[in-house]
Amino acid sequence: MTLQIYDRYWTDAEIASGSTMIRSLHSEPTLFRLSAQRVDIAAHAGPISLKSTGRGESSYRFGRRSVSVSPGQILLVPPSASYTTHVGDAGAEITTLYFPKRLVADAHAVLASPADRLLDGHQTDPNRLPQFPPHRRVASARMSAILRALSCAHGSDDVGDLVMAALAATTALALEAARSTVNIPAARPSVRRELFRRACLVRDLIEQSPDRNLSLAELADAACLSPFHLHRVFKAAFGETPAQMRRRRRVERAKAMLALGDRTVAEVARRAGFDSDSAFSRSFRAATGLTPTAFRHAAGG
């Protein structure tokens, strides 16, 4: 599989509807990687895209709403969503990855369908794509590694494998967002999309700083929802409450530090955000079935 790579930003003529550039985005996977400063790109749309920023900050406006992307974050944009792009005086290093809908539809069918249907000659519907709103999230370690590898893989024999890995990860994120949005208790799709966006803001706060003891009230203020409403929406979208997600992320962080073996258990507990050694031990054992010390020995730390 080939990957088109561009090291510059678009001209207004290139991003006009029906242009050669736009048509090419719908035919082959395309990667844009560039350093930009004081850039405003006019409204445009394309296939599903994944945006990240290696340095600085870029912002994207969808109608009246603007979403900024900083290092360590990704922005998932659904197909046909129209948006503008802005980079300020400080500049930014931007990476944008586009996938044609035929590839996303194929990955969607494989990831969302039972294996026996695929073996029985199941035909991929190129118009059956996950429906989700544009949303930002913290980039996983795997997604960050894939994007870094793609950005320097021009002419490499690994390009095809990297594109497939990026396609699988992007489609999985789109499916997760689509399912989460549908699960939110609201009658109107536009309200579900907005509630999902606000739940994602809270998820960002938790994932970026799991050690911070933000109360439900503080998280609700960030989402402009009541505490009860946020709790209900968050659980429906992500399958766990804000407190459960924070505890899980703290344990994940602690596991990584314990495996390294260069800090005491007490120091790991403090750095992971637990109030006491006993609280850390209880949460860690409930999540892993092991005490922190036993986990460290098993991990060879």
DSSP type of residue 230 = H
Confidence band for 38, pLDDT divided at 50, 70 and 90: confident
298 pLDDT more than 70: yes
Range name among 123-132, 217-226, 251-260 with the lowest pLDDT average: 123-132
Bridge partners, residue 99, by sequence? 48
Tell me the range of 8-17, 31-40, 67-76, 205-214 where mean pLDDT is highest: 67-76
Confidence band for 297, pLDDT divided at 50, 70 and 90: confident
Instruction: Report the pLDDT averaged over residues 119-128.
Output: 65
What's the helix, strand, coil split of the chain in %, to 5?
50, 20, 30
220 pLDDT more than 90: yes
**pLDDT on residue 92:** 93
Instruction: Report the pLDDT averaged over residues 235-244.
Output: 95
Q: What is the pTM of this model?
A: 0.81
**pLDDT on residue 58:** 94
Q: Residue ranges of the alpha helices (H) in 113-188?
A: 115-119, 141-151, 159-183
Residue 286 identity (one-letter amino acid): A
Residue 202 identity (one-letter amino acid): V
**pLDDT on residue 167:** 94
10 pLDDT more than 90: no
Domains 4-180 and 245-299 share a fold: no
pLDDT greater at residue 156 or residue 215: 215
- What number does CATH give the domain 245-299? 1.10.10.60
Closest C-alpha among 97, 115, 251, 256 to residue 169: 97
Main-chain phi, psi angles of 219, to 5 degrees: -65, -40
Classify domain 4-180 at the CATH topology level.
Jelly Rolls (2.60.120)
Place of tokens 């009658």: 187
So where are the chain's domains? 4-180, 184-239, 245-299
**pLDDT on residue 126:** 66
Averaged pLDDT score across all residues of the chain: 89
DSSP type of residue 192 = H
**pLDDT on residue 120:** 64
Confidence band for 151, pLDDT divided at 50, 70 and 90: confident
**If you count DSSP H runs as helices and E runs as strands, how many of each does the chain have, helices first?**
12, 8
pLDDT greater at residue 12 or residue 67: 67
**pLDDT on residue 11:** 79
